[in-house]
Each structure stands twice: as C-alpha cells, then as structure tokens.
Structure 1
Amino acid sequence: MGRRIDCYIDIASFYSYLAFLEIQRNRDLLSSHSVHVEFHPVLLGGINVGSGNKPPWTNPVKAAYLVFDAQRATARFPNLVI
C-alpha cells in the first residue's frame, strides 16, 4: 500500500519554497517507496489572522533568529537564487 505526504504550501512563504525544493529533490526516492506527495495551496497570512498568531518578524527576538535560521536553511541549497 502506498503512502502519502500532504504538503501545505504558501507561495509567499520562504520555508514552503524550501520544503517544495526538498520534496522535488527527493521525489525519485519517495516514489521508490511508493510515497505520493499531494500539494495543497494555503494562505498562511489568513491562517495567522484566523488563529490570532503573529508573524515571527513582529517579535524582535524571533526576527533576529530568522536571519540565522534562513541562512541555515538555505545552506542545504547552495545553488539557490533568491
């Protein structure tokens, strides 16, 4: 029996884009294990408003961490053009 990954992607989200790239990079491996990836578009801003959550850049501590975290995340993609 096949397995499935539901991937919720916000086109404006940097981390969604990186997740999409990672899944694409590993699609042959996933396929060899009978894993089907289904993408679902979402609007993260709407989810944040509906849940009362605020974007991390509105908190100074989280905003400072975002710089480090973005650099760390993009290290997995040395040819990434932003």
Structure 2
Amino acid sequence: MPVPFETLIPYVIITAMFGVSGAGLSKIKNMNNGGKKHRWSIDQWDKQMMDRDRRLTGYIRGQTDNPIAPAGFELNNPWRVEKRFS
C-alpha cells in the first residue's frame, strides 16, 4: 500500500529546516572567525595568543607579519593591576 505524499511533507520540511539552520550556524561561526574554521579545545595559551592577535589586528583570529607593533600597542596591556592597600 503506497504512502500518500501529503504525509511526507512535514518530514521534508523538518529535514530542510535542520539543513538550513546547520548551514546558517556554520556560516555565522565562519564569519566570526574571520573566514577561518572554528577552533576546538582552546587552552589558556591559545586564549592569550588570540587576545594578543585581537589587540594587534582588531580580529580575534587575525594575524599580522608586521615586525613593528602599531602605535599605542605598548600601552595596550591586558593585565589588570590591582590597587594596593596602604
């Protein structure tokens, strides 16, 4: 006994929406990383280097081959200094 095509329409719509949402999330992650693939298992060292790259280039995954830091980078310290008690 054949299945009427009307019963398959919701399954096709659900499958298509999973595909569209997966492609959309992949594209958003790709755009957030400056066109590079999403990174997995980022440890503390990688976080520090990514923060340094963000301060140098303005992008979290951006890198530069310029040996001289831009003006103002010498004052751009990520460490926060605590206020000393008297």
TM-score computed with the length of structure 2 as normaliser: 0.23
Pick 1 or 2: higher relative contact order, CA cutoff 8 A, min separation 6: 1
- Between Structure 1 and Structure 2, the one with more strand by share is 1
TM-score computed with the length of structure 1 as normaliser: 0.24
Based on CA coordinates, which of the two structures has the bigger radius of gyration? 2
